[in-house]
Structures are given as structure tokens and as C-alpha cells.
Chain A
Amino acid sequence: DAGITQSPRHKVTETGTPVTLRCHQTENHRYMYWYRQDPGHGLRLIHYSYGVKDTDKGEVSDGYSVSRSKTEDFLLTLESATSSQTSVYFCAISEPGYGYTFGSGTRLTVV
């Protein structure tokens, strides 16, 4: 999607390894979000950021950490990947009072 890119698009990793997903925006939006999407659960918020170095937890934050050292980049790290973290991960950006713009997603498989 225009203005927001996620990398990688697909990743297979082994249980116990750390994994970092990247979200990059060119829109200079203040807010950035990480969601995961699983069948039967819809989208659930993992972490979000409201500015450089300002982050907060969502409803499913256990096992995940984030960092935002620049306005344009929001990194999601799985500290020690587990099979329950197999999912599709979406990044989104927004400004207050407006809709979100989502990235194309990262399909992560933990084996």
C-alpha cells in the first residue's frame, strides 16, 4: 500500500529463534500499530506507538517487543518465537481522527 511497506513479506523460522519484522512509512504519521490476524480472532493489537520512543502494549503483547527510534520505522520483535506466534502480521499508520492505512502484511510461520 502507498506510503507503508512491511518486510519481509513471508518468513519461516524455527521455534526459539528471535525474529524482527519491519514497518516503514513515508507519510510522517504519528501513530503506528502492529496487529496480528488469526482465523476466528480477527485482528488483535500487539503494540502501538504514538511517537518516537513512545510505545504501549495492546491486548496480545506477551512475547513481543517493539522499538521506534525514527518516525518512519516501527520494529516488532518476537524474542523467542513459538508456534502460537504463527500468524499474519499487519502494520498500520494513522493520524488522529482519520482511518488507518495498512501494510500488505507479513506471513510468519514458526516451525
Chain B
Amino acid sequence: SQQGEEDPQALSIQEGENATMNCSYKTSINNLQWYRQNSGRGLVHLILIRSNEREKHSGRLRVTLDTSKKSSSLLITASRAADTASYFCATDDQGAQKLVFGQGTRLTINP
């Protein structure tokens, strides 16, 4: 069963604009993670945010977590063509040492 659901399923923006993707989940968690997948490649870990954190930054990435709403958002600022990829959120289902992934947001950055 799917724990996380990303929204939107697809997003197309111009280079230089900001991209925001959202994730909702259903059960309590210890942490939430975001991954990127380029076409035909494996997933790459971007950022992990723990349940007691509300916001985390890594370079051009900003992740927020609202445990009361069971939701998270990933913001990519000043997008580049190289950011074109699918982005997945994943949660450790009720603290279990295994991640459950959403279906992802496909992000396209147009030059």
C-alpha cells in the first residue's frame, strides 16, 4: 500500500523558476526522505527530515515537514535543466526500518 502521495504528478516550469512538490502520508513516522531519479537510473538520496524538525535546507533544496497535517514539501529554488527528474518522498512506516515510497512527481525544467 502506498504511504506517501506526491502532488502534482507532473510539473513543467521554466529554468530559473522555483519548483514545489508536496507529499502526504498516512501513519506516524520517525523521518521523511526525498529522493531524485533521473531517467533510467537509480534513486539518489536528497534530504532526510526527522519528525521533530520542521524545516531543513541543503543547497537549493528546502524541505518542510508538518506532522500535524502529515505532509511535507520540497522546494527547489532557481531551477536548472539538470533538475529535470522524478522526485519521490518516502517515509519509514511507523518507525520501521523500511521505507515506503510515493509514486513520484515528474519535474521538467524547460530551457
Contacts and interface: CB of A to CB of B under 8 A. Distances in A.
A102 B100 contact: no
Interface stretch (A35-43, A61-69, A71-79): A35-43
Helix, strand, loop or mixed for chain B's interface? Answer: strand
Contact of A98 (B48, B90, B102): B48
Interface in B18-67: 31, 33, 35, 41-46, 48
B100 A90 contact: no
Contacts of B42: 1, 90, 102-105
Interface in A50-98: 50, 58-59, 90, 92, 94, 96-98
Interface residues of B, number: 22
A96 B104 CA distance: 23
Contacts of A98: 48
B98 A33 contact: yes
A23 B99 CA distance: 18
Contacts of B100: 45
Nearest to B5: A42
Given A42-B2, A42-B88, A43-B88, A102 B43 contact: yes
A40, A43, A90, A96: residue with the most chain B Cβ atoms closer than 10 Å: A43
A100 B103 contact: no
A91 to B, nearest CB: 9
Interface of B: 1-2, 31, 33, 35, 41-46, 48, 88, 90, 97-104
Interface of A: 1, 31, 33, 35, 40-45, 48, 50, 58-59, 90, 92, 94, 96-105
What 3 A-B pairs come out closest when comparing CB atoms?
A: A99-B45, A102-B42, A42-B103
